[in-house]
């Protein structure tokens, strides 16, 4: 028998529920904003496969200074998080603050690319086997892995898959080995950046692993998350290497585009094809 939401919230917060309204929750889980009898609020996410998200939130909260929602409770079916006041627009001041936060996050390093465990991105499995070389990790566990997942789902044409495989065999023409594996949030689009005033209140829905930090910066341009003010401030803290804007940004954006192909198909296939056409 399924336990009612109100009883679950009371169990993990120690407070009775005064009200609940649904929230948009992206592609993963059913999300509810719950008001407690003391006036506090929590966000509850319900659905299968939520344990990795809870682990990532705890990881970021305990090992980094990146602001994330406080996790009250997390298991495979349920996340209870403190509500974060937000809803303000992204301004140049917000972009500069985001740049400072992500530049600091990218100073967290590890001995390998990947992570201590597999994670998820938009609810999809994201394999993170520790790998010494970045080009190998990006090729096998990001580009080819997600392309194959999209092909198996029927969203990516076989002919385009073959061209992605050809591009994967030539990545070292454009991608160098970074100095160190650096921790990234992994899913920096606008919906995952909560803004209050002129500050980033929290980053949500992480898809973390240790990577070339430029893949995070590339993703931040894909859907217009951040612009000139972000890159100006980030560049003061961690200067970008030559070739990012000319080539690596597009190559790295193949991964989030393939995630979207796997989930939604449609016009995202065209986006992948345009990038592959550019490099083959």
| Calpha distance 94→85 (Å, rounded) | 15
How far out from the chain centre does Cα 6 lie? 30
In terms of residues, how long is the chain? 280
Tokens representing 158? Answer: 């076989």
Of the candidates 116, 160, 166, the residue with the CA atom closest to the CA atom of residue 139: 166
Collect all residues with Cβ–Cβ distance below 8 Å to 17 and sequence separation of at least 6.
5, 6, 9, 10, 34, 35, 36, 37
Q: Residue 93: in which H helix or E strand, if any? A: helix 92-105
Tokens representing 47? Answer: 């659905």
Q: Are 114 and 129 in contact (CB under 8 A)?
A: yes
| Calpha distance 144→130 (Å, rounded) | 17
Q: Are 81 and 72 in contact (CB under 8 A)?
A: yes
What residues form DSSP beta bridges with 46?
A: 30, 78
- Which residue is associated with the tokens 């590339």? 218
Q: Are 175 and 206 in contact (CB under 8 A)?
A: no
Catalytic residue among 118, 176, 187, 212: 187
For this structure, is 205 an active site residue? Answer: no
Q: Are 207 and 187 in contact (CB under 8 A)?
A: yes
Tokens representing 251? Answer: 């190559």
- Residues with a catalytic annotation lie at 187
């Amino acid at each position: 028998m399924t336990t009612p939401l109100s009883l679950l919230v009371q169990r993990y917060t120690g407070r009775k529920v005064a009200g609940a309204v649904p929230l948009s929750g992206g592609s993963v889980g059913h999300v509810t904003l719950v008001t407690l009898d003391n006036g506090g609020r929590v966000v509850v996410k319900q659905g299968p496969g939520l344990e990795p998200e809870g682990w990532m939130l705890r990881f970021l909260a305990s090992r980094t200074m990146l602001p994330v929602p406080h996790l009250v409770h997390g298991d495979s079916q349920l996340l209870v998080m403190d509500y974060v006041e937000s809803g303000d627009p992204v301004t140049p001041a917000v972009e500069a603050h985001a740049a400072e936060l992500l530049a600091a996050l990218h100073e967290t390093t590890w001995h390998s690319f990947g992570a201590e465990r597999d994670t998820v991105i938009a609810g999809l499995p994201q394999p993170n086997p520790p790998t010494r070389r970045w080009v190998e990790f990006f090729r096998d566990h990001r580009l080819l892995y997600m392309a194959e997942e999209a092909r198996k789902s029927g969203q990516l044409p076989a002919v385009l898959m073959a061209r992605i495989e050809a591009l994967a065999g030539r990545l070292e023409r454009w991608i160098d080995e970074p100095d160190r594996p650096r921790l990234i949030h992994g899913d920096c689009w606008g919906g995952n950046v909560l803004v209050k005033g002129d500050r980033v209140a929290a980053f949500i829905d992480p898809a973390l692993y240790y990577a070339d930090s430029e893949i995070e910066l590339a993703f931040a341009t894909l859907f217009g998350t951040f612009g000139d003010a972000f890159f100006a401030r980030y560049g003061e803290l961690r200067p970008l290497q030559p070739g990012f804007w000319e080539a690596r940004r597009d190559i790295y954006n193949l991964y989030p585009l393939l995630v979207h192909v796997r989930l939604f198909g449609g016009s995202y296939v065209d986006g992948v094809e345009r990038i592959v056409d550019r490099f083959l």
